[in-house]
Chains A and B, each alone.
Chain A
């Protein structure tokens, strides 16, 4: 029987199956951050210890101060306590920590691939909904809550029911100035915020084949924004070239053995999917969200929708969203005036994202307060070696140290009520970047352009070259 990439990884990790409880899946990599405190508390209450500290890897990202990059720099005592708990818990359990001050610290979904912790065909979990990011390397990766974190710490397994399978085949050619962020926003706008709920999504097709790993990471990252716990891309030459030489990737004879195994993972040609979707992105322009859900995405050359002209069921939500966002129905996207810019996050905080943004602002000046937060300390180091930091700072951007920062604002990096923020992150929920803050999601190139022009512009007109 033909099998999909997902079927293959799932069955290889089946420890045991029961008709009532589903499959007990073995977890190859458990990535943890500060949010694991509750998981460790549950473990302690039950008198248990971490079963496989060697398969557990930790970093600090959510509460990390991006200015004073030190545990002592966390201004709030409660929040500092959470970072200290991570340091204490990992030390006591013998778990490797890429903590604040470590040269490999960073957002968990940036460092997993970067360090080669994430490998094709493995299962990866993390107490974070954006864990599907790692699926870009052909790993079965998904977000879990604190109780499941405790379960993995104690048993290295999880009970899961097999989801339905969806394939999204992306064809066409990306226009200049567009990127994976625009593709995923277009997909979410099309299928909706719960369009992939209950599914594992495999992204495939000629566009995906040509995307770099970093772009694929952006694509898989926002799977949860369409409701899917899992997003996947088959490993190929690009994946193998990306992983070669990474600190935790296999080496020597092992490497050849794993590569041979990874090459067999792709979905069989006649694999069957419960839902098959095709999207052509040849006409895709840069995307931007206008509302308070990632599905509220439109092209930069479009107009803010009129709630009177949307589906009756969505009308009230659209009205409330416009009201919160301070926008009027029918206004041109290019007329929306911004107050602030954030470039970073597990969606768009990688080196290629920073290069893309720097290309837009090079030689220009920001007219808005703008923050650049590299996704990891290694990204920061690399960017500085390339001189990107100087491009940003001479344009008036703030250049910070790595962490989740303004994507969720848990470290205190927030905008103020009423401000409109251009953000390369993944959620434009009400209050996400601060009470009353209006978040618009977009690509790094678009966010950089807004910092310079104050309003959205079609970035394809200011950057050149086809990719």
Chain B
């Protein structure tokens, strides 16, 4: 995982509720390997029409939202499947944070583990950010994970994050290494080589 550095960027609005993982990455793209990149698969059936032509009216395709690094979404973003491709596609497209009132539980965890920052804010705060993002924002948003803030103009909102996940994201650490340092505790729990659930 890459270290998560604070950054200035623009935000794209996609404020619908319940955007599911099948919309984020249609299942037919799941055979691709991580290294192949999933940029083109992101929101594929909304970004492109049946002939493969860009749908100009879709938020991410509008000139003022091209290159956005922050996605402003609705309730329950990333509900549905556990497929991590949804997170990879957002990262490959260039997103580094998603702001929403709530997230699908498995998507939320997948995001934290891959360096995509999921920011939970109350709907009224997301609405303020949506107003600020309307019509294009030219890098006017600033996110600091260290201070747990998202700022635009004179407005700044603070968000919560699990301190352990915050540390991992800031340092670019993966939790497997961290857990393997607790191997003694795991071995003690197992109490031998058998099946611990049948002991």
Contact = CB atoms under 8 A, between A and B. Distances in A.
B16 A317 contact: yes
B186 A26 contact: yes
Contact of B20 (A37, A42, A429): A429
B22 A143 contact: no
A289 B139 CA distance: 42
A198 B103 CA distance: 10
Contacts, number: 165
A246 to B, nearest CB: 13
Interface in A100-129: 119, 121-123, 127-129
Interface string A125-148: 001110000000000000111111
Contacts of B34: 38, 41
Interface in B145-199: 162-164, 167, 174-177, 179-180, 182-183, 185-186, 189-190, 195-198
A31 to B, nearest CB: 12
Interface stretch (A16-24, A355-363, A372-380, A392-400): A16-24
B26 interface: yes
A154 interface: yes
Given A48-B176, A254-B198, A427-B22, A432 B27 contact: yes
B195 to A, nearest CB: 7
Nearest to A436: B50
Interface residues of B, number: 54
A27 B20 CA distance: 27
Interface stretch (A74-82, A167-175, A264-272, A297-305): A74-82
B82 A22 contact: no
Contacts of A329: none
A430 interface: yes
B39 interface: no
B50 A146 contact: no
B60 interface: no
B66 interface: no
B84 interface: yes
A194 B20 CA distance: 12
Given A26-B186, A129-B80, A429-B23, A159 B179 contact: yes
Contacts of A28: 195-197
Interface stretch (B2-10, B90-98, B107-115, B129-137): B107-115
B69 interface: no
A20 B164 CA distance: 5
A150 interface: yes
B105 A145 contact: no
A120 to B, nearest CB: 10
Contacts of B144: none
Residues of B contacting A: mostly: helix
A239 interface: no
Contacts of A250: 198
Contacts of A254: 198
B182 A82 contact: no
A314 B17 CA distance: 8
Given A20-B162, A46-B176, A430-B23, A15 B189 contact: yes
B197 A121 contact: yes
Contacts of B32: 78
Nearest to A54: B195
Interface in B27-54: 27-28, 30-34, 45, 50
B109 A144 contact: yes
B106 A147 contact: no
Contacts of B113: 145, 147-148
A55 B75 CA distance: 37
Contacts of B31: 63, 76, 78-79, 81-82, 410
Contacts of B174: 46, 147
A272 to B, nearest CB: 22
Which 4 residue pairs across A and B have the least CB separation, nearest first?
A21-B164, A145-B110, A28-B197, A147-B113
28 contacts: A20-B167, A21-B162, A22-B162, A24-B186, A28-B197, A38-B84, A42-B176, A48-B176, A54-B195, A63-B31, A81-B31, A128-B81, A129-B106, A147-B84, A147-B113, A147-B174, A150-B176, A154-B179, A155-B183, A193-B76, A194-B18, A197-B76, A293-B20, A409-B27, A429-B22, A430-B22, A431-B45, A432-B22
Given A129-B82, A145-B109, A229-B106, 17 more contacts: A21-B164, A24-B179, A24-B182, A24-B186, A46-B174, A82-B31, A144-B82, A194-B75, A198-B105, A258-B198, A293-B18, A316-B16, A409-B28, A429-B20, A430-B23, A431-B26, A435-B26
Interface of A: 15-16, 18, 20-22, 24, 26, 28-29, 35, 37-38, 41-42, 46, 48, 54-55, 63, 76, 78-79, 81-82, 119, 121-123, 127-129, 143-148, 150-151, 154-157, 159, 161, 193-194, 197-198, 224, 227-229, 250, 254, 258, 293, 313-314, 316-317, 408-410, 417, 427, 429-432, 435-436
